[in-house]
A and B are shown apart, each in its own frame.
Chain A
Amino acid sequence: MPARLLRLPSRFVATLALAPAFAVMLVVYIGATGWTIWISLTNSRMLPGNVFVGLRQYESLFANERWQVSVHNLIIFGSLFVLASLALGFLLAVAIDQRVRGESLLRSLYLYPFSMSFVVTGLVWQWLLNPTLGIEKLVRGLGFEAFRFDWIVQQDMAVYTLVIAAVWHASGLAMAILLAGLRGIDEDIWKAARVDGLKTWRVYVSIIAPMLGASFATAAVLLSTAVVRLYDLVVAMTNGGPGLASEVPAKFVMDHLFERQNLGLATAAATTMLITVAAVAAPFLYWQSKRQRLLAR
């Protein structure tokens, strides 16, 4: 009897301890999301309106030139960034895996950009890509008078500068994840491959890379979450410019929430972002949970 009494308060305390988490999930995550979605279905502009207008805000959104450019930019940025980071990360991981000298120094070097803010990254690359005083001037100074590297002020090239800066920032992350995956591979596989007479590159391509599926997926997902959230880098590096050339959805939402004061449009944009993320994350989470259940068996 006393034992039971002792246990009851503890379980109660446990529920109490989880209350903040429950509250946050309910109020913030679910509540706020719901409210935002609701606003996107009303006639809100500067202030939240109460009239339900269905998908009218979404119609204006998709007709909005700035939004169209933002989405277009994000697709270009997203695919290039993720692919380039994965590729570079993989090559770096493989190179380091070759038992090279100075391994820990190199690893720290490739990963340090990831420890810094995207704002810092953006500002540094803004400086490096400065047409009059940065890399362009340097190379011209070396004698290549006709060298052009003023992408950052060019309408159709600005997005690519974002890619460069972001890859610099994040490929260390991809490398770290892939290197951990590489290190987890059974050494006997390497021995068997050597006896089979396989060249090292062949082993990486035909045997190791397929085995790294999970690592690639994890890295890809982490990189992709950075893609949707892309805001700090853009604000710091180009502020969406020149003109609208490097606008992105996250910035669209922020600008319309605060400067342009168009709640309806902003929340519609935010909801669209959510749907996109859900469409990509859902299959991944589903696959993850299936894997967990498989591994647990």
Chain B
Amino acid sequence: MRRVGVMGSVAIEPQGRKPRHMTPARIGIYAFLVITALFFAVPLYVMIVTSLKTMDEIRLGQILSLPLHPSLDAWRKAWSSACTGLNCNGMQVGFLNSVKILIVSVPASILVGSVTGYALSFWRVRGATLLFGAMLVVAFIPYQLFIYPLVRVFSVIGINNSLIGIVVVHTIFGLPTMTLLFRNYFAALPTELFKAARVDGAGFLRVYWSIMMPMAMPILVVAMILQVTGIWNDFILGLVFAGRENLPMTVQLNNIVNTTQGERAYNVDMAATMLTALVPLIVYFGSGRWFVRGIAAGAVKG
């Protein structure tokens, strides 16, 4: 049975591989993907491009155009001489502050979270289930409910507006997520491991340090990504608890950009924004699949 082709000539008898055509549907999908890709990519492009232009060029209003004479002047200014109020030392101040906060808060919150999660998954302590349930619930409460009491308590203790204060705050608010993360991970490990270690005579801390944590590499990476990104990007907690000398980069960025008198130096603004976005972007692009795993793990609230 031969098939008659379009031209009336005898066409090929179907055999072997089916010819693949680009259907309209497939074209539509690619078109959609390209358009949305542009939607997501253009802002980043504009950020970079604006930061490399001179103010004259920017005033021309061609927001999408490439810089005529790209220069890193704006970046230099943003880094070392941008002004927050009376201080004109640039974003490097905020950058260092954010780094200081990060270096202490990330290990602290991961340590506390992992020990708590570990304790909840293997050990029968009174009230453990209640604690776990409570953590699921409190993760939803907005920060605004805690701010005033915490500020008062911190002033009394003397750690308000200090590095310790902000570190403690990040540890406290990171506790539910970190605990959930580690607890879910440990709960999925075979209990035989734990029992074997106990039979071998290992105690609470020994099991934690020598057996569980070495096995927890994957979740540690995820926890680090979540905490580094979360703490670096934080604004409200840094604003309230860090104190003027320790303001993180995000707070300083907002101050520089939104509280300028007179004409704004858009290129410096964008350079400063890029600088602030750099660390999380590097973590993001460098972490590959781990970032998505972090989202998946953080999304599982119990």
- Complexed CA–CA distance, A200 and B24 (Å): 13
B203 in contact with A13 (CB, 8 Å)? yes
Q: Report which of A98, A107, A119, A134 forms a contact with B63, defined as CB distance below 8 A.
A: A134
- Complexed CA–CA distance, A9 and B123 (Å): 12
Contacts of A98 in B (CB 8 A): 26, 29
Q: Report which of B59, B125, B257, B296 forms a contact with A18, defined as CB distance below 8 A.
A: B125
In the complex, how many residue pairs between chain A and chain B have their CB atoms under 8 Å apart?
249
Contacts of B296 in A (CB 8 A): 176-177, 180
Task: Name the distance in Å between A133's Cβ and chain B's nearest Cβ.
Answer: 5
| Interface-lining segment among B75-83, B84-92, B113-121, B216-224 | B113-121
Chain A interface category by residue count? 35 or more
Task: Name the distance in Å between A42's Cβ and chain B's nearest Cβ.
Answer: 12
- CB-nearest residue of chain B to A136: B61
Task: Name the distance in Å between A198's Cβ and chain B's nearest Cβ.
Answer: 14
B residues 228-262 with Cβ under 8 Å of A?
Answer: 229, 232-236, 250, 253-254, 257-258
The reply on A154 being an interface residue by CB < 8 A is no
- CB-nearest residue of chain B to A15: B125
- CB-nearest residue of chain B to A280: B140
Q: Report which of B141, B233, B270, B276 forms a contact with A127, defined as CB distance below 8 A.
A: B270
B residues 273-289 with Cβ under 8 Å of A?
Answer: 273, 276-277, 280-281, 283-285
Contacts of B44 in A (CB 8 A): 112, 124
Binary interface profile of B, 27-49, with partner A (CB < 8 Å = 1, else 0)? 00110110011011101101100
The reply on B5 being an interface residue by CB < 8 A is no
With A133-B63, A138-B64 in contact, do A115 and B281 touch (Cβ < 8 Å)? yes
Q: Report which of A18, A112, A270 forms a contact with B142, defined as CB distance below 8 A.
A: A270
Contacts of A109 in B (CB 8 A): 37, 40-41
- Complexed CA–CA distance, A158 and B224 (Å): 36
Task: Name the distance in Å between A182's Cβ and chain B's nearest Cβ.
Answer: 13
A176 in contact with B269 (CB, 8 Å)? no
Task: Name the distance in Å between B262's Cβ and chain A's nearest Cβ.
Answer: 15
B235 in contact with A232 (CB, 8 Å)? yes
Contacts of A274 in B (CB 8 A): 141-142, 145
A133 in contact with B141 (CB, 8 Å)? no
The reply on B179 being an interface residue by CB < 8 A is yes
| Chain A contact residues: helix, strand, loop or mixed | helix
With A106-B37, A115-B284, A273-B142 in contact, do A11 and B269 touch (Cβ < 8 Å)? no
- Complexed CA–CA distance, A120 and B112 (Å): 30
The reply on B213 being an interface residue by CB < 8 A is no
| Interface-lining segment among B9-17, B66-74, B131-139, B158-166 | B131-139
Task: Name the distance in Å between A157's Cβ and chain B's nearest Cβ.
Answer: 19
- Complexed CA–CA distance, A32 and B266 (Å): 41
B125 in contact with A117 (CB, 8 Å)? no
Q: Report which of A20, A177, A235, A270 forms a contact with B145, defined as CB distance below 8 A.
A: A270
Task: Name the distance in Å between A163's Cβ and chain B's nearest Cβ.
Answer: 14
CB pairs A–B below 8 angstroms (6 shown)? A24-B172, A32-B149, A33-B146, A36-B146, A39-B148, A111-B291
Residues on B close to A: CB < 8 A? 25-26, 29-30, 32-33, 36-37, 39-41, 43-44, 46-47, 50, 58-59, 61-64, 112, 115-116, 118-120, 123-128, 131, 134-138, 140-150, 172, 175, 179, 198, 201, 203-205, 229, 232-236, 250, 253-254, 257-258, 266, 269-270, 273, 276-277, 280-281, 283-285, 291-292, 295-296, 299-302
**The 5 A-B residue pairs with the shortest CB-CB distance in the complex, in nearest-first order:** A117-B233, A137-B61, A115-B284, A32-B149, A14-B123
Known A-B contacts: A13-B203, A232-B235, A267-B148. Give 9 more (CB < 8 A): A13-B205, A17-B115, A21-B135, A36-B148, A115-B280, A123-B273, A124-B46, A221-B301, A250-B142
